[in-house]
Structure 1
Amino acid sequence: MSGEIPLTEYLFRRLRSTGLRAVHGVPGDYNLTLLDHVIPSGLEWVGNCNELNAAYAADGYARIKGIGAIVTTFGVGELSAINAIAGSYAEMAPVVHIVGTPVRALQEKGVKLHHTFCSGSKRDYELFAEMYAKVTVAQADLVDIEHAPGEIDRVIRECILQSRPVYIQLPMDLVDAKVPVSLLDQELDLKPAVNDVALQSGVCDILVHRIMGAKQPLILVDGGTSRYGLSKLTEALVKVTNFPTTTTPFGKGIMDETLPNFHGIYATVGDHDYTSYVNSCDLIINIGPVHSNVNTYYFATVPDKTVTITIERDSIQVGERIWKISPASVLDQVISTLTKEGVPKIETYPTLPNMQQTLATLPTNNSPADRFAQTNFWRRMSRFLRSGDIILTETGTPSMGGRDFILPQNTTIINSAVWLSIGFMLPATQGAALAQRHLSASESQRPAAQGRTILFQGDGSFQMTAQELSTIIRNRLDVIIFLINNNGYTIERLIHGPEEHYNDVASWRYLEAPSFFGAEATSTSYPIFKAKVSTWGELDRIMDDREFHSGKGLRMVEVMMEMQDCNDTLRLLLDIYKTKKG
C-alpha cells in the first residue's frame, strides 16, 4: 500500500488486525475527533452509559474475543474507568485503553484547562498517566508522530502477549496527523520469545521424568492457563497422561468437564474435599496459578512446592528450580514425547467425584410447589446449560453458586476470583454478547459462535450498573439474565450484619427495567421475555419454553430467593473467612 492515513486510523486498523471488531467508551470533548475514525476503520462504536461500565464491557469482550478496547476523555473519563482497568490487570484481560488528551502545546505550557487540577503546571497532564502506569503493562504518549506507529505496535503487542491492559494517550492535535499507510503491511509480531533449544530439551526431559515416575499425581488447572494461551496444550496433557485433573474456581470452564479424569474444583470443603488425596501426591502439575485467597479457599489449596511443577506465563518451576522459558513449546515437546512412549497407568486411581456421573444423579424430584434453596438450585441449573454457552456469574451468591455448575463441552464461564468488583458482570455481559456476535467466519466452528450468553446476577449488583441493560437493548444483543432477588447484599449479610440496614437495597421492579431502558414490548425483531419465579414448577415451565431457551432478544427471569440463603460452598468458605479474618 502507498500513501498516508491519519494516525488514529492507523491505531484502529492495527487493532482490527488483531481481531477487535468493537470499541467501547464514552464521548468527551478531548476525544470527539478521535471517535470520527472508529467506523471508517472498520470497527463498531459502542457508546456506554459511563466510563466504568465501558471498561467493564471491554473486559468482557476481551475475555471472549482475545482483545478489547475503550476510549475515554482525559481526566474525568479515564479516572472513572480506572477501577475496571485495574480489575482487567488483576484478572489478566487484554484491554487497550485509549485516552484523548488536550493539544500538546497547551500541555507543555501547563494551561489551566478543564478536567485538570488547574495548578498551572505541566504536572497536571502527567498525573493521570502515572496512575495508569500502576495498572497497565505498557503505556504510550503519542506526542511524536514519527515514532507513534511503532509505539502503538509496541503496546498492542504487550497487551496481547501479557494478556493485560495497556494505556495510550492521543493528543487532539495528532488525531489527523498523517503516517505512511505502508506501515500496516508489516504484521505485528505476536510470537513469544524463542526458547534456547538445549534448555528446552533439558526442561522437557525433567518434566517427562517426573511424569513417568509419578505414582499419585494430580493436574491442577487455574485461570492463567487460558490467559497464557495454554488451554489446548493443557487439555492434550490431561488426555495423554490420564492423570486426575481438577480446576480452581477461576480456572473453571477451561477444561472439558466431560473427560472421565476431570473431577471438578479442587477444594478442602464439601463434596470436593480432596485433601487426603492431594496431601499424598508425589506430583502436582499446577498450570497458570492464581493464588488469591478466594481462589484457593484461603490458601488451603496452594500446592506443596516440593512436589509441584508450576507452569507460569514465561517460566517453569520444579521444586525450587526455576527456568525462564516459554512454556508452550516445552509442553508441546513433553506431550509429543509422552505420546510416543506412553504414560504408565496409575495403579490405584483415586475415588474422586466424576462430573458427568454427578450430573446424571442430580435430584429432579422437588415438588413443583417447593420454593428454591440455593443448596440445590445451581447444580440443577446445570441441565439448562449447553455447549457453546458463555456463562457469567456475578460476585456473591451467583459466583459461589457457579462453582457447582457441571458444564458441557466447549462452555466458557466468566467469573471473578481476584478483583471481585460488584456490578462488573452486567456490562461484561454486554461485551461478551457482542464478542459472541463478532466471532468471525474463520471462527464459526467455535461453539460459542452458536451459543448463548447467560448472566446470573444478584439484585444488589444489578443496581450497581443497571444502565448497561439499555446498551444491551440498544445493540439488540441476545442475552439471558437470571436475576437472583434475595433482597439485598446477601454475601455481605453472611459476612457481617445479617439484619443491618447497610446491607439493604431499594426494592426495584426489576422486570420493568427493559421497558424503562428502551425495549419495545411488542417488537418482533427484538423480542422481550420476562418472568418472575418463586417455585420449581414455575421455573421448570420457563425452562421448557422454546422461546426462552432457544429464542432471541432479551430474556429476563427474576428468581426469588430467601434473604440469607446461600449454597453450601459459600457457607463453608465463610466459616473459613471468619476464622482467618482476612
Structure 2
Amino acid sequence: MSTQITLAEYLFYRLRDAGVLAVHGVPGDYNLTLLDHVVPCGLEWVGNCNELNAGYAADGYARIKGIGALITTFGVGELSAINAIAGAYAEMAPVVHIVGTPDRKLQSSGTRLHHSLCRGTPRDFELFAEMYEKVTVAQENLINLSTAPMQIDRAIRECVVQSRPVYIRVPMDMVNEMVPRTRFNRSMMVPDTLCYGAATLSPHPNEPLFEEEIADQIVHRIRKAKQPLILVDAGTSRFGMSEQVHELAKVTGFPTATTPFGKGIIDEGLPNFHGIYAPIGKTNYVSYVEACDLIINIGPMHSNVNTYYFTTVPKEDISIVFEQNHVMIGSCAQNLKPKSLLQQVLDNLARDGITPFAPYPDLPRIALNPKIFDIDRDSELTQDVFWSRISTFFRSGDIILTETGTSSVGGRDMVLPKGTTLINSSVWLSIGYTLAAAQGAVLAQRHLATSTSSPSGRTILFEGDGSFQMTVQEISTIIRKKLDVIIFIVNNNGYTIERLIHGPEQHYNDVAAWKYLDSPSYFGANCDTEYPIFTASAKTWRELDSITNQTTFKDGRGLRIVELTMEYKDCTQNMKDLLGMYTKEE
C-alpha cells in the first residue's frame, strides 16, 4: 500500500470517517477533477438540479445522519448555495461545504476569470469566502500542502462539535497533490498543536470534580422543586442529548414539554409529556409555568417563531439552561459540556434515588380528539381537522417534514409515535427547504438502514403548493435515485400564510395553477415496477381515507404524491392565534 494519497482522497476518506456516505452538489469547471474522486472513495454522488437545492438536501441529510456534505464551484455555485448554508447555520445543521476554486497561481495573479467579479485583483478570489465567514464556524483554504490535511481535520471536527456548517476551498491544482497516508492514524477530534488545530469548542472531557460539584447543585434543585418543568428545544438533538433528556423526564416524572422546534425529540407517549408549551391552543398551561420554581431548559433556540414572540422564554432566576458549551444556573454560567454534565446528573439521581414527581395539576396532554373522526366523510378537507387526523397514518421510525407556513404550524397539532423524527424550520423559514431536504433525509435514512441492517420507517413530506414550486426540480433527483418518499401537497391556491399576514386577495400571493400530479412524468418517471409511482388527489375525508388505507400507498415503495385541495384562506386556529400575536408584535 502506498504511503501517500491525493489530497482529494484524504478529504473524502475523512468525510467517510465522520459519517458522510453521500455528497450532494452540482458539477462546475472548477470542481470537476475533485468530483472524480467522490465515488472511488466510497461515497455516493448526488447530482442536484441546482446548488440551493443541494444545500437544502445536505442539510436534510445532516439532520438524520449527523453530518452532510456538498460540493459547488467557485463564485456562481457557492453563492447559489449560501442561503441553504445560512439556514444550516441558523438551525445548527452540520454541513461541510466544499468549493472547487481556480489554480493558486491564477488567484494570486488576479487573473480575470469567469465566475469572478473580473476586476483583475487577487481580492476577487477572497470576496465570496468572506461572505461565508458570516455563516460558517470554520473556513479553510487548502493552499499549503503541509497544513492541508490538518485543516481538513479541523474543519470537519468543528462541523461535528459545533453542529454548524463549515467551508473548505480546494484549488484545482491541489486536488491531486500527495499527502501522507499516516495522517489517518490520528483522530480528527484531537486538535493539532499548530494554529490550525485550535478548536473553538474543546473536545476534551469536563474536569471530573468540577462536573460532580455542578451536578450535585442541579440534583439539589431537582429534589427541592415544588413546581418544576422540563422544556425541550432543538438543541437537545443537536448537542446529542436526546437520550439523556428522555431519561431525565422518565426518572424525575417532571411535567415535560417541547418548543415547536423541539417537537419529536421526546417520546410523546410519556405520561408526563404535555405537548408544545404555548400560550395558545390546546396545550396552554402558561399559568402553571409562570408559577414554576424550576425550569430545566434544554438546548434553547429563542427565535420569535419558536417562542410565540418571546412569551414562552423561561424566567432566568428559576431556570437551569443547558446550552451548547455551558450550563446556566440562574444567571451564573458554568463552562461544562452539557451532555456529560447531564449524564452525571442522571448518575447522581440513580445513585441516591429519587421519588418521581407526582401528583401534579392535570395539565393538558397531547392526544387525538375522537371528534376528528366523527365528521361528515363527504365534507371538504379542513386544516383544523387534517393535522390531528393524519397522525394515525404515522409509524415509529418515520421521518416527517413540515414545510414553513400552514404545514409547519399545522404540524404542531400532530401526535407523533415514539421513534419518529420531525424536521421543520423555526428560525430560518426559507420556503421550499423541505422538498430538497426530504431528498437528503430519505437518502440518509437508506444509508442508516443499510449500515444497521434494521428496517427503516418512511419519509413523509407535507408542503404547500407555493413552497413546492420553489424547489420542485428535486422530484427528478428523488426519481433518479429511486428514493421512497410520500408527499402530501396542500393545494390552497397560493401563499396562504402570506395572505393571512397581509393581502388576502392580492395577486402577489397567487401562484400558477400547476398540474402537480403530472410532475413525476415530466421529471423522468417511467412505468417501472422496480420504482413505482403513485399519484392521487383528495378533496374530502372519504377520498383521503381511501388513499391512505391503500397498502400500495402506506406500505409501498417509490414516489407517492397526494394532492390535497383546501380552501385558499383556511388554516388552523393555532395559526390564527399565532398571526394575531405577530400583528401585535408589529
TM-score by length of 1: 0.97
Gaps of 5+ in 2: 191-201
- Does the 8 Å CA contact 1:2/1:182 hold for their aligned counterparts? no
Cα deviation 1:502-529 (Å, max 9, x = unaligned): 0000000000000000011x21011000
1:380 aligns with 2:389: yes
| Deviations, residues 150-193 of structure 1 (Å, cap 9, x unaligned) | 00000000000000000000000010001112212323227832
Counterpart of 1:207 in structure 2: which amino acid?
Answer: I
Question: Bigger shift: 336-345 or 141-150?
Answer: 336-345
User: What does residue 481 of structure 1 align with?
Assistant: 487
Q: CA deviation at 1:194?
A: 1.6
Shift in Å, 1:243: 0.4
1:341 deviates by 2.3
How far the C-alpha of 1:326 sits from its partner, in A, is: 0.8
Distance in 2 between residues matched to 1:80 and 1:161, nearest whole Å: 26
The alignment partner of 2:560 has SS state of strand
> Does the alignment pair 1:28 with 2:39?
no
Matching residue of 2:452: 443
Identify unmatched segments of 5+ residues in structure 1: none
Paired residue for 1:504? 510
SS of residue paired to 1:343: coil
| 1:468 aligned partner | 474
Deviations 1:371-428 (A, max 9, x none): 0111111000000001000000000000011111100010000000000000001000
Q: Per-residue CA shift, 1:456-510, capped at 9, x if unaligned?
A: 0000000001101110011110000000000000000000000000000000000
> Is the CA contact 2:252–2:357 (under 8 Å) kept in the aligned structure 1?
no
**SS of the residue aligned with 2:483?**
coil
Q: Give the whole-Å Cα distance in 1 for the aligned partners of 2:12 and 2:146.
A: 17
Show the counterpart of 2:302. Answer: 291
Q: Is this contact kept in 2: 1:362–1:379, CA < 8 A? A: no
C-alpha separation between the residues in 2 aligned to 1:362 and 1:318? 44
Q: How many angstroms does 1:339 deviate by?
A: 1.8
Residue 561 of structure 2: aligned partner: 556
Q: 1:270 aligns with which of 268, 272, 281?
A: 281
The question of whether the paired residues in 2 share the 8 Å contact of 1:2 and 1:180 is answered with no
**1:527 counterpart = 2:532:** yes
Give the distance between the partners of 2:54 and 2:451, measured in 1 at CA: 27
The secondary structure found in structure 2 opposite 1:272 is: coil
* CA positional deviation for 1:362: 5.4
Give the secondary structure class of the aligned counterpart of 2:5. strand
- Indicate the SS of the match to 1:359: coil
Change (3 A) 1:514 1:164: same
Q: Which residue type is aligned with residue 498 of structure 1?
A: P
Once residues 444 and 331 of structure 1 are traced to their aligned partners in structure 2, the CA distance between those partners, rounded to angstroms, is 31
* Distance (whole Å) between structure 1 residues aligned to residue 138 and residue 469 of structure 2: 33
* 1:279 and 2:284 aligned: no
Matched, 1:366 2:381: no
Tell me what 1:156 maps to. 156
Aligned to 2:194: none
Q: Does the 8 Å contact 1:476/1:526 carry over to 2?
A: yes
Looking at structure 1, the residues matched to 558 and 540 of structure 2 have their Cα atoms a distance apart, in angstroms, of 25
Instruction: Sort the Cα spacing of 1:16 and 1:440 in 2 relative to 1 into closer, same or farther, 3 A.
Output: farther
Show structure 1 runs of 4+ deviating over 6 A: none
2:4 maps to 1:14: no
2:230 counterpart of 1:219: yes
- Which stretch of the first structure deviates more once superposed, 46-55 or 1-10? 1-10
* Letter in structure 2 aligned against 1:210: R
CA deviation after TM superposition for structure 1 residue 238, in Å = 0.8
Letter matched to residue 423 of structure 1:
G
Shift in Å, 1:348: 4.1
What SS does the aligned partner of 2:372 have? Answer: coil
Aligned partners of 1:173, 1:118: CA distance in 2, in Å? 21
Aligned to 1:457: 463
Secondary structure at the residue paired with 1:351?
Answer: coil
CA shift for structure 1 position 2: 4.5
Mapped partners of 1:576, 1:280: distance in 2? 23
Indicate the larger mover: 436-445 or 214-223: 436-445
Determine if the alignment matches structure 1 residue 332 to structure 2 residue 343.
Answer: yes
Instruction: Indicate yes or no: 2:37 matched with 1:58.
Output: no
Q: CA deviation at 1:441?
A: 4.8
Q: Paired residues, what number? A: 575
DSSP 3-state at the match of 1:482: strand
1:199 to 165, 189, 210: 210
Any conservation in 1 of the 2:462–2:490 contact (CA below 8 Å)? yes
Tell me the amino acid that sits aligned with residue 378 of structure 1: W
Normalising by the residue count of structure 2, what TM-score does the alignment of the two structures yield? Answer: 0.97
Q: Which residue of 1 aligns with 2:111?
A: 111
Counterpart in 1 of 2:524?
Answer: 518
**Counterpart residue number, 2:547:** 542
Relative distance call for 1:444 and 1:299 in structure 2 (3 A) is farther
Aligned to 1:86, the other structure's residue is in SS state helix
Matched with 1:128 is 128
Out of 398, 406, 409, the position equivalent to 1:389 is 398
Q: Residue 209 of structure 1 is aligned with which of 217, 220, 230?
A: 220
CA deviation map 1:81-123 (0-9, x unaligned)? 0000000000000000000000000100001011111111110
Q: Is the 8 A contact 1:233 1:328 kept in 2?
A: yes
Question: Structure 2: how far apart are the matches of 1:458 and 1:176?
Answer: 45
Question: What letter matches 2:331 in structure 1?
Answer: E
Counterpart residue number, 2:71: 71
AA at the equivalent of 1:469: I
Structure 1 stretch 320-329 or stretch 424-433: which is displaced more? 320-329
